[in-house]
């Protein structure tokens, strides 16, 4: 059992991994979750944490995740929801099935994880719940309906939860990522884009840690991040 426990849902190789590393560096026992543990086993070993398989859009799967983390490490009091899905396409062409899939991962998953996290935090006397948003949470762009609807909903969820749970000691914050996050994917690396043209995952994770560390008399509910050269 760890004295302090963090959980990152959507622990991909970019931002999710950076969040897990930062939380571990801050002294937390860290659980990382993704649909398949094969994708995160090395990360869990690196940070001395534990990997779990979870489908965030499935309420039963999320309940099992939190039960497992609590039994193995303790109740998570720092939780980040970083999962999302996006398939580009015109509203004339996207299928209802694909639209629903993106919404389920982008928004319903946030509700499932947020609710489970909040219940444990309220019982424990407080905690921090972080949601990863995007520019699409503020405006729906051409070809971005699949992303925007889920991100709009996630932002509304974060606001509702913050107003309800803040007085109960739970800090709910929504991060708007306004720009591309650097990764190894073709077209997204700093080498291809240029220095500081894309957001560094470690820099975003540092901001997430800052939000978690805030004194409760001055909590931030929403914060936007972008490269300094971004046009906005």
pLDDT on residue 187: 60
- 188-205, pLDDT tens digit by residue? 666 666 677 889 999 999
pLDDT 10s digits, 124-175: 999 999 999 999 999 999 999 999 999 999 999 999 999 999 999 999 999 9
Banded pLDDT at 94 (limits 50, 70, 90): very high
| DSSP classification of residue 180 | P
Strand blocks (E) in the chain: 5-9, 29-34, 50-53, 78-81, 127-134, 170-177, 222-225
pLDDT > 90 in the chain, percent: 83
Q: What CA–CA distance (Å, rounded) separates 132 from 155?
A: 9
How big is the CA angle at 186 (ends 86 and 46), to the nearest 5 degrees?
A: 85
Confirm if 82 and 56 have CB atoms less than 8 A apart.
no
Fold classification of 5-225 (topology level):
Rossmann fold (3.40.50)
Encode pLDDT of 2-23 as tens digits. 789 999 999 988 999 999 999 9
> Which token pair is 36?
């398949």
Give me the mean pLDDT over the 84-95 stretch.
88
Write down the domain spans for the chain.
5-225
């Amino acid at each position: 059992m760890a004295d302090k426990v963090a959980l990152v849902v959507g622990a991909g190789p970019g931002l999710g991994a950076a969040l897990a590393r930062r939380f571990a560096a801050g002294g937390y026992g860290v659980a990382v979750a993704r649909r398949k543990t094969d994708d995160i086993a090395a990360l869990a070993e690196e940070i001395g944490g534990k990997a779990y398989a979870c489908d965030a859009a499935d309420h039963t799967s999320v309940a099992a995740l939190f039960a497992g983390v609590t039994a193995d490490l303790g109740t998570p009091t720092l939780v980040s929801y970083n999962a999302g899905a996006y398939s580009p396409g015109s509203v004339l062409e996207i299928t209802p099935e694909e639209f629903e899939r993106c919404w389920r991962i982008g928004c319903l998953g946030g509700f499932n994880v947020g609710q489970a996290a909040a219940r444990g935090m309220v019982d424990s006397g407080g905690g921090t719940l972080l949601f990863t948003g995007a520019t699409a949470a503020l405006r729906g762009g051409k070809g971005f309906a699949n992303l925007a609807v889920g991100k709009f909903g996630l932002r509304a969820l974060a606001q509702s939860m913050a107003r309800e749970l803040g007085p109960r000691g739970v800090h709910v914050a929504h991060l708007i990522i306004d720009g591309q996050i650097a990764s190894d994917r073709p077209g997204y690396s700093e080498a291809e884009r240029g220095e500081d043209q894309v957001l560094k995952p470690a820099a975003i994770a540092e901001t997430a840690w800052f939000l978690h560390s805030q004194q409760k008399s001055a909590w931030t509910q929403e914060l936007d991040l972008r490269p300094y050269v971004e046009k906005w």
